[in-house]
A and B are shown apart, each in its own frame.
Chain A
Amino acid sequence: MSATTAPIRVSTGGLQKGERLISWAMLTPFLIAFVLFLVWPILHGFYLSFTDQSLTGAGGDWVGIANYLEALTDPVMWGSMGNTLWFTLLSTVPLVIVALVMAVLVDRGLPGQWLWRLSFFTPYLLASTVISQIWVWIFNPQIGAANALLAKFGIAPIAWLQNPDTNMIAIVIATVWWTVGFNFLLYLAALQNIPAQQYEAAAIDGAGGWRQFWSITLPQLGPITALIVMLQILASLKLFDQAYQMLGGVSSDTTRSIIQYIYETGFVGYRFGYSAAISYVFFALIIIVGLIQALVTRRKGQ
C-alpha cells in the first residue's frame, strides 16, 4: 500500500456550481432506482389498496376504504398481527440476552476466540430454507433429535411444529439459534471498545467481576443495546419465511404472521387490493413501533 495521502478537502459548507452538478449526476442513477423500485411501488400499492384488483387481472375498480374496513373487522388479520407481536416479544428478549451472555463469555478471555466467533455466527449465514429443514428434522415427532433428548428424561414425544401449544416456541428456538450470531458480533465489538483502564481502575478499587460487569460493562453497552433492540424488533416483525417453511403449508392460527397473511391473501387467494390494504395497516403499525422506540431512546438520552 502506498503511504501517500491525497489532500483532504474539509467541507466549508457550500459547493462550487460545477461540483454540485457532478454530485447530482452521480446521484441520479441511485435516485432513478429509488423512485422506480421504492417510491413508485409504495404509491402504487397504496392506490391498489383502494381497489378490488385481483392477481388474475380481473377487478381493479375503486372501492374506497372498503378493504380497510374489512381488514379492521377481519379476525384472521388481527390474529396474525397478534402472532407477529407475540413472536417479536418472545424472540427479542432471548436474542438480546443470549447474545450479550455469549459475547461477555467470549470477551472474558476464553481461549480460541476466532472459533467461538465463527461457530456463533455461522448459522446466521445460512439461508432460511436450510435452517427450516434442519429444524423440521430436529422437531420431527418420531425421529427428531428434540424428542430423543426429551425421551432420556422420560418425557413423551411432542409434535413440536404441529401442536398449537408448542409451535410458536419451536419457531422462536430455531430463530434464536439462527440469528443470535449477528447481535453477538455487535456486542463483542462494543465490549472490545471499553477501555481496559476502566477495569484496571475498578480492580484497584477492589471491585470484583460482578461489580465490574454491573457498573462498567452494562452501562457502557447502553447505546449498542438500544440499537440492537431496535434492529431486533424490526427484524422480528418481519417474521415469515422460517415459520412458513417449518409449518409446511398448514396454516396455523397460532403461528401465522401478518406477512404470511398478506402473502396468502394476495398470491394464494388472488385478492391483491385487500392484500395491499393489510400491508398498509402493518406499515402503520411499524411506524408506531418506530415512533415509540424513538421517544423512549430520546428520553433516555436527555
Chain B
Amino acid sequence: MIHLNRRQLLTGAAALTGAGLLAGCSPSSTPSGAETLQFWHLLSGGDGVTMSGLLDKVNASQDAFHVRPTVLAWGTPYYTKLAIAGAGGRAPDVAIMHATRVGGYAPGGLLDTWDIDRLASLGVDESTFSAPIWDKGKIGDKRFSVALDAHPFVLMFNTDICDKAGVLDSDGNLPPISSPDEFVEVMQAITGASESHGLSYGYLGDGSQMWRLFYTLYTQHGAEMEFPQEGAPVIDDDAAVASLTFMRSLLDGKIAAPQADYQAAIAEFATGKSGVLLTGVWELRTVQAAGFPFNAAVIPTMYGTPASYADSHTFVLPHQAQPNEHKRELTYQFVADLLKNSFDWATAGHIPAYLPVTQSPEYADLMPQANYAVAADQVRYDPPAWFTGSGSEFHSEFGATAQPVLLSGDDPGAAVKKFRDYVTRQLSKPNPADPKGVWKA
C-alpha cells in the first residue's frame, strides 16, 4: 500500500498541474540548483536592515544555498510560532533565538543539537568565543545554540554636554566611577549642564527595561540568582533592595525624570536635552542618527564586581522530524559564513560573538562600539529557568513589582518579597517543556 503524507501528496498534485508554472514563482535571485534554507528571525528596525544586508552578502558569495528569511514580531508572537512549528515537526532549517530562551525549549525536544566537531571543522569553536558566551550555548554537555552576538545594557553620553559639565577626561571618556555616590556626583554635574535632566532612563510599562538595569546593578554586588526547578529561589535580598533603592534615587526629577517611558527617554537624549542615556546597544543607530557627538561605555562597576546585563542572539536548529542531511550541512555552512561576516552586525551596535571579528584591527577602530566590547567578558544573562528570558512573562512580572517602587517610592523590601513569591510560585509549577521532569541534558 502506498502511504503518502500531506506534503508528498501536494507535491504530486503540483507536478501534475504543471510544476513549471510553480517554479516560475520562485525568486529570480535563486541560482538554479541552490537549496533554499528557511531562516526565521525576530530582528526588525535597524537590526532587520543590517541582517538583510548580511544575508544578501552570504547569498551572493556562493551557489550552494539561498537563505530565505521569515521575520516575525519580537517577543511572545515569535516564540509562540517557533514552538508550534517545532511541535508540528515542520520547523525552519535554522532560527534566531535569544540565548536566555533556549533553556525553555530544549527539554521539549523543540531544538536539535549542534555537532561541535562539525562546527570546529568550519572554524567555529571554543577558542573563537568569550567564555561566558560560549558556555551559555550549552545545556549540560550538549550544544543547543551558537551565539551571533552579545547585546548588553550600556550607557551612552553626549560628549558636548559632558564636556560642558567638565567631567570628561582628555580622551573623552567618563571619569572612573566605583561607587553609587560617585555615579550620583557625576550625574549631578552633568545635570547642571543639561537642558532637562542629566540622565535619561525610560522604564514605564516596560518590564524588560527595568530588569536590564536592575540585574546589572544586582550582579555587580557579586550576587547571581538561581531558580532551581521545584526548589526555592536563591535571591540576595540585600543586593536586590540596594539596587532598587539606588534606581529609585536616580529618578528624583533632577538627575532623571521620575515618569518616563522608553520612547520618551530615547527622545530626550536624541534631541540633545540630556547628557546620558541608559539603554541597550541596539539603540546605537538611533543615537547616531541624532547627529551629535557621543560616546558609549559599560555601566560603571559601582558595587565591586564588573557585570552587565545582556542577552545574545543565537542560532538554533529547530527540531525537524525528518531532517534533510544535505540541508543540515548547508545550514552549518551558512551559520559559519554569517559569523565570519558579522563585522557588519557590529554597526547595528551589537558586540559580535565571534572573536576573530571583535579582535580585528577594524573593530578596534569602530567607535564607540570598541569602547564597550569589554562587556562581552562580563555579561550576565537572566537566571536560567524555563520561564525567564528576553520577551518573557518573567520580565513583565518583574516590572509589575519594581514599577511601584520606581514610580511611587513603594517599599523596595516589600517589592523584593513579592518578586520572590512570584518566582517561588513559578518554580513550583511543572516545566511545560518537561512536565514529568525526566529530561537530562
Contacts and interface: CB of A to CB of B under 8 A. Distances in A.
Interface stretch (A137-145, A204-212, A290-298): A137-145
A251 to B, nearest CB: 5
Contacts of A54: 108, 432-433, 435
Interface in B63-116: 75-76, 80, 83-84, 86-88, 104-105, 107-110
Contact of B396 (A58, A76, A140, A250): A250
Interface in B389-441: 392-393, 396-397, 399-400, 403-404, 407-408, 425, 429-430, 432-436
Interface residues of A, number: 35
A57 interface: yes
A200 interface: no
A56 B400 contact: no
Given A159-B259, A268-B392, A56 B206 contact: no
B400 A251 contact: yes
A104 B203 CA distance: 45
B349 to A, nearest CB: 22
B440 to A, nearest CB: 14
B363 to A, nearest CB: 34
* Most chain B beta carbons < 10 A, residue from A55, A61, A162: A162
Contact of B204 (A55, A70, A159, A251): A159
B187 interface: no
Given A143-B264, A250-B396, A267-B80, A58 B435 contact: yes
A59 B396 contact: no
Nearest to B75: A249
Chain A facing B: main interface SS: loop
A163 B205 CA distance: 10
B264 A58 contact: no
Contacts of A247: 205
Contacts of B397: 251
Contact of A250 (B207, B264, B434): B207
B435 A52 contact: yes
A156 to B, nearest CB: 10
B257 to A, nearest CB: 7
Nearest to A141: B259
Given A57-B86, A59-B435, A159-B407, A140 B400 contact: no
Contacts of B407: 159, 162-163
23 contacts: A52-B430, A52-B432, A52-B435, A54-B108, A54-B433, A55-B84, A56-B83, A56-B432, A57-B86, A57-B109, A57-B110, A141-B204, A141-B259, A157-B259, A159-B407, A161-B204, A249-B206, A250-B206, A252-B400, A267-B76, A268-B76, A270-B83, A270-B433
Interface of B: 75-76, 80, 83-84, 86-88, 104-105, 107-110, 204-207, 257, 259-261, 264, 387, 392-393, 396-397, 399-400, 403-404, 407-408, 425, 429-430, 432-436
Interface of A: 52, 54-59, 61, 70, 76, 140-143, 157, 159, 161-164, 247-253, 264, 267-272, 274
